[in-house]
Each structure stands twice: as structure tokens, then as C-alpha cells.
Structure 1
Amino acid sequence: MSAPYVLVLYYSRHGATRSMAQQIARGIEQAGIEARVRTVPPVSTQCEATLPAVPNEGDIYCTEADLKDCAGLALGSPTRFGNMASALKHFVDSTSGLWMSGALIGKPASVFSSTSSLHGGQETTLLSMMLPLMHHGMVIAGIPYSETALLNTQTGGTPYGATHVAGSDSNRPLDEHETTLCQAQGRHLGQLALKLQD
């Protein structure tokens, strides 16, 4: 049997959500469990079978096995009109086989998101991303208020999950509080994954 890992699955168009995924992965590994970072291909008019298994740069594409075998999941997306990006939703919508087999029941999951503006739909995106995870029977974990950065942030960060305000050009880096909250979310998720191991 392979060592347990927490899957950090995200879609990122301009890199902001990817930066969050990297910080969440860092927090997961601080908890003492491996973080496996994966992404999904953009939605395109090409047949998915023609797309390469490994993108030209960045993280490799997630497989169903990556998701099925994980001990926990952090799911991240930029906000698209208060919802997750279509590329990530397309992947999630393809997981009905895992739903039918109950492969994800009882595993911890958390969500994270990035927006261009402060009131760009961060919380609705996080809540909408939780819905398919609950259908899978996953245990949803947010960020507890014991993380004082939640009380001090002036940009991203919610108890529902880490968020980031990337700015109108989508190139603003994570600030100190956003970074702290991403890592805290990863640690919390990693600790839960270890506790819930069979």
C-alpha cells in the first residue's frame, strides 16, 4: 500500500490559484503527510483524448486514480461569476463513478478560491464548490477562527476556506495573511486526513 497523501486539485488561468495551491501544499506537508498537487486542463473545443497528459509547464493533470486514492482533498478555483471555473467543474462532473462506488465517503475536504476584486464572489464560489464534495460524502473542513489571520486580513480569507484578491490584472501576489491562511488550511486538512485514516 502506498503512503497516504492529500490531493491539492486546482485550476488556475493566471497563476494566482496555483500560488495558493502551493502554499496549501506546504501546510499539508507541515502536518506530516504528503501533498500531491494536480491541475486540470482548460475546457477547449479539442477532444480531451488529444490533450497531452502533462501540460507544457506547471503541475500535471489529475487522474481519477489521484482523486480515488487520496486521504483528503483541497479543491481550488478562480471565481467565475460566483462559481468554480468550468474547467474544474468539468473534471468534477466526470467523477460519477467515484460517487457510485463511494470512494470518497468520509475523507476530509476543503476549498479555496481567488478573485480579481474584493467582492468578486469568493464565498459563493467556496460554498458552491462544497456541494459536489458533500454529494461524494466528504467531510468539509474550513478554517477555524483560532487562526488569528482571519481576524486581521484586509483582503482574502474566510472561515469557509482560504481566498485571495489577485487584483484587476490578476498579478497581485499573496499577502502575509493570505499566505498564513493557505498554510493553516493545509495543516488543518493534513491533520484531519491523518486522524481519519483507517
Structure 2
Amino acid sequence: MMRPYILIPYYSASGSVEKMALYIAKGVEQAGLEARVRRIEPIGKGDALGPLYVAKEDIANCAGMILGSPTRFGQVAAAVRLFWDKTGDIWHSGEMIGKPGAVFTSSASMHGGQESTLLGMMMPMIHHGMLIVGIPYSEKAIHDTTKGGGPYGASTVTGDQYGHEMDGHERDVCIALGRRLANIAKKLQ
């Protein structure tokens, strides 16, 4: 039998969302599950020799999913939208029904639309029958962060004026999200 894993598919143009994915994976592994981190293929720039891209088998067989996208004008990146558009057969089969799902994002500016992006990323998960997992306010780092992280999912601001790096609180929120979703996935199994 296949060991349960949490799929962490993400699209990252500048590297910020990728860094978040790795911290989220750390939280998943702290909870005792495998974190399967996979890139979402960019539109028109596919590279067969590039990093591991998410495959339909990864999606259908996961115990849960934590999806990442940069914020683009307050919305999910086009590559992530295309990722979902290709999952009609998985939706039809009902493979994702009852599995936990969570989301994370990065923007270049403080008011770049992080919350609308996070909420928008949840819509396809809801259509797939997934159970949406957020971050409760009992997570201390949510109260301490000044540029990301909230109840809808992990987030960060990494534009020029913000130094391009997450702070410790934002990293803690990422780890907490991974750990929380993994623990819920274990309970559901």
C-alpha cells in the first residue's frame, strides 16, 4: 500500500511561493506524513528536463493538498488556473471528495490581493469536494506577522520594498499550515 502523502503543487515565478512550499513541506513532515512538493508547469515554457511537475496521479492519490500561487492582480496565476482546468476527469471520478485542502500565496505589495487570491484558490477545491483547511487564530504567528499570514492560508509580501524574504512569523505560519493539514488528513484516514 502506498504511504499517504500531502501534495504541495505550486507555481512560482520569482521563487517566493517555492520557498513557502518548502516551509509548508517541513510542517507536513513534522506531522509524520510525506510532503510531495511539485511545480505547476508554466504556460508555454514547459521543460521536460526541468523540475518535477505535478502529474494527475499525484493529485488523485494524495491524502490532501496545499496549493500555492503568486497573486496576479488579486487573482491566482494563469498557470494555476490551467492546472485546475486540466482536472475535469479527476473531478468526474470524485477522487478528491473528502480530502483536506489548503492554500498559500505571495504578492509583491501589501495590498496586492492576497486574500482574494487565497479565496479564489479555494473555489476549485470546493468544486472537487475537498474540505477547506485554514489557520486558526490560536496560531501565535498570525498575530505577530506584519506582512502575511492569516486565517485563509499562508501568505507573504516579498516585493522590492519588503526585502524579498519572508520573516520568521511568516515561515512559522507556513509550517503551521503544513502541520495542521497533515494532522487533519491523518484523522480523516
TM-score, normalisation: structure 1 = 0.92
Say whether residues 1:177 and 2:157 are aligned partners. no
Q: Is the 8 A contact 1:161 1:185 kept in 2?
A: yes
2:57 maps to amino acid = A
Identity between Structure 1 and Structure 2 (%): 51
Task: Look up the match of 2:34.
Answer: 34
State how far apart, in whole Å, the 1-side matches of 2:120 and 2:69 are. 11
Say whether residues 1:144 and 2:136 are aligned partners. yes
Q: Residues 196, 116 of structure 1: CA spacing in aligned structure 2 closer, same or farther, 3 A cutoff? A: same
2:52 maps to amino acid = I
1:7 maps to amino acid = L
Q: Residues 169, 38 of structure 1: CA spacing in aligned structure 2 closer, same or farther, 3 A cutoff? A: farther
Q: Residues 4, 114 of structure 1: CA spacing in aligned structure 2 closer, same or farther, 3 A cutoff? A: same
* 3-state SS of paired residue (2:147): coil
Task: Look up the match of 1:190.
Answer: 182
Total equivalences in the alignment: 189
**TM superposition shift of 1:42:** 1.0
Aligned counterparts, 1:89-108, within 5 A: 89-108=81-100
RMSD: 1.3
Say whether residues 1:64 and 2:56 are aligned partners. yes
Tell me the alpha carbon deviations over residues 31-83 of structure 1, each in whole angstroms, 9 at most, x when there is no partner.
00000000111111x7xxxx44441xxx4100000000000000000001111
Q: Residues 79, 194 of structure 1: CA spacing in aligned structure 2 closer, same or farther, 3 A cutoff? A: same
